Amino acid sequence: MPEDRKPVSPQNPCPFLRALVAEGLLSDQYEPLKHLSDTIRTVARTGDGTAELHATPIILIALVANGLSPLQLVRTRVHGVHLSALRGGPLDKKGAGSGILDQSSRFDQSQLDRMATFGSEKVDANGNTEIGLNLAEITKFMNANFARAKGRRRLIDRRLMDGEFPILLRVMGKQGRDARYLSIAELKTLFAERRLPERMLRPLG
């Protein structure tokens, strides 16, 4: 691991949060809800679309991420969300998602390649072509993931998907000729290397 990278627990299954931990922007242990929200919103503003995420939904999602029992909710409220204890929690789809990270948070290239088959050639702001997914293509991909998980999925899992790649599209999507899209190359960097795109890191210093 490069010296500038922080270790990330395999019990943190969220690729975006894993990147923020690896960059040293968040702790892999307990993060106060406000600091977590502020950090996510600050990073989101560095993207091409300068996405303005609202604090309240982020805090509410983080509040339930470690468990729904009254005692756990109080603990999270007081001590913060435990980022290295998210796997197995109520927001974990337990394999019903993209599969790009397996249940041990190992990167699976074949699953990213599968995602790429739902995309198409895009042209970025500099005129370069690459494979990416716009919102319509992301929706087809998520529907296919939900269908693939038949027999081991929960009804809520499809709703949870709407809070993942579509939000990632707002945060780190690139503006294409027709619409914003997620770059497969940048997704590989995010999932495999736990790195945000350089264009987002530069404003953070």
Torsional sign, CA 201, 50, 40, 168: negative
- Within a domain: 177: yes
Statement to judge: residues 61 and 120 lie in one domain: no
- Within a domain: 151: yes
**pLDDT at residue 3, rounded to an integer:** 52
- Within a domain: 47: yes
Statement to judge: residues 50 and 134 lie in one domain: no
Statement to judge: residues 127 and 194 lie in one domain: yes
Look at residues 92, 121, 147 and tell me which one is the last residue of a structural domain.
92
- Within a domain: 100: no
- pLDDT of 1 > 50? The answer is no
Statement to judge: residues 80 and 164 lie in one domain: no
174 or 203, greater pLDDT: 174
Statement to judge: residues 28 and 83 lie in one domain: yes
- pLDDT of 28 > 50? The answer is yes
**For the chain, how many structural domains are there in total?**
2
- Within a domain: 38: yes
d(CA 119, CA 133): 4
Q: Do the beta carbons of residue 89 and residue 82 sit within 8 Å?
A: no
Statement to judge: residues 205 and 111 lie in one domain: yes
Name the residue type at position 76: T
Statement to judge: residues 62 and 38 lie in one domain: yes
**pLDDT at residue 49, rounded to an integer:** 72
Look at residues 39, 63, 92 and tell me which one is the last residue of a structural domain.
92
Statement to judge: residues 152 and 205 lie in one domain: yes
Statement to judge: residues 12 and 42 lie in one domain: yes
Domain range for residue 205?
107-205
pLDDT tens across 146-187, in order? 999 999 999 999 999 999 999 999 999 999 998 999 999 999
| Sequence-separated (6 or more) residues with CB below 8 Å from residue 48 | 125, 173, 174, 175, 180, 199
Q: Do the beta carbons of residue 170 and residue 101 sit within 8 Å?
A: no
Global confidence as pTM:
0.93
pLDDT tens across 29-61, in order? 999 999 999 999 999 999 887 789 999 999 999
Look at residues 50, 66, 92 and tell me which one is the last residue of a structural domain.
92
3-class SS string, the chain:
CCCCCCCCCCCCCCHHHHHHHHCCCCCCCEECHHHHHHHHHHHHCCCCCCCCCCHHHHHHHHHHCCCCCHHHHHHHHHHCEEHHHCCCCCCCCCCCCCCCECCCCCECHHHHHHHHCCCEEEECCCCCEEEEECHHHHHHHHHHHHHHCCCCCCHHHHHHHCCCHHHHHHHHCEECCCCEEEEHHHHHHHHHHCCCCHHHHHHHC
